[in-house]
Structure 1
Amino acid sequence: MASHTLSKLSPSTAPFSPSTGARLPRRPMLVSSLRLPNAWLGARDFSLRSMGLASRLPRPRPIIATVAFSLPTAKPERVSSGENVPRWSRKAIKSFAMGELEARKLKYPTTGTEALLMGLLIEGTSAAAKFLQANGITLFKVREESIKLNPKGDMYFFSPEHPPLTEDCQRVLDWAVDQKLKSADGGEITTSHLLLGIWSEVESPGHKILAALGFDDGKAKELKSQISEPEYDD
């Protein structure tokens, strides 16, 4: 805290010169620090730096989700061959990033189909998220089922910034690209492709969670009929 100068002094408190008897000018008093009264301990300096605690305070470790412009593929030859691969929608990319972040929160070493499913619901505004919510499938229910299948990791374990994809989760991404290429209708790969991709992986945790919460082939067919509709940012 900046020093404060006490410049106003009472004349009666100024000292006298022993030789002339005249009053001498009083030097200003400098207050170098703020000391607050304490009823139990007297005057105490409440500066964290003065108590040596500033460097001991715990610093929370931030969790950051990095959003890329595309999603991982197990078929890099597509890019090298110059094939016109359709783009992912912004909501699909955001859902994927939210799935990675959820995997890290749950202390999972990898990003699986269950994390991708939670990412869709965390994003919350896409066609796939709204379809799930309309059918009673919520983030709370999916997270609860996910922990039953795959309990939380050790509290002292820190997941990498980008937990590697499980094999079934990677197949979901490539399935979505393949289906979009087969349709030849232009446009982007949407969250509906991701959701149907999760459903196509029958042995994956994401499919098992969807089935446990009432999702079936009939609902998948209904979603597929709406898959050509573009996703616009709200």
Structure 2
Amino acid sequence: MDKYLIWLHSVKGYSILTCNVYYKYAKLLNESNMDYNIALSKFPNISNNTKRVILSAIKKFYYYKQDKRYTEIVLPKKNKIVCDYLSIDEYQKILNYVLNKKRVNWLKILMIRLLFETGIRSSELLSINSLDIKDNKIIIKGKNNKERLVYLSPSLTKILNNVISKTNGSTKIFHFGYKSLYKKIKLLGNKVLNKNLTPHMFRRGFATHCISNNIGIYELSLMMGHDNINTTKLYLRNDDKISVMQTLFN
């Protein structure tokens, strides 16, 4: 199992979060006599989306073990749900809340602004290295170790450089994991917006704001690190333009 975890991370290039999920269900499959039906029977009332995650992980482990049963597995269709996101107004409220503290936490400001203004994934944020920063650009290592550039505004570049100058020689910017990031974001959502906020809602908010400002879907897919433009379409929300339909036929 340890070799499998190494394979997921080093060969497939998956993030630590993805590796941990795949490892969890591969371990469950092992405990279920390598029978995916037995493994699935332990989750009787799950959505198609959760079932897809479990089956994807099981299928990957079968593939790794060269077990032909990976060809038997057909992933169910995703449930279509309307995902919430962080609006530009909500983002400004959170930013102002943190900026107006007696003692401003610039690392937290950097965290908030990078998530919303670049649309990077949580795993990408936490793995940012000062060696990957070139002037106003950051080389982001995304899924499957695919690299892309994200561009920073002058004010965000200034904050980033300020934070780096106080890291005492460490190349890592954020010295905490996803659980800590999730708690920080959730706390901000509760205090400022009375909303159940998650890190991924910043990414959806970024996509929504870009589309509202006439950024094309192809350009957006490049910025978000999507291999398939259909993935980018899942993030599209434009409530301002959609709401106009309410008055079209008055």
With the shorter chain as reference, the TM-score category is: under 0.3
Rg larger for: 1
Q: TM-score, normalised by structure 1?
A: 0.22
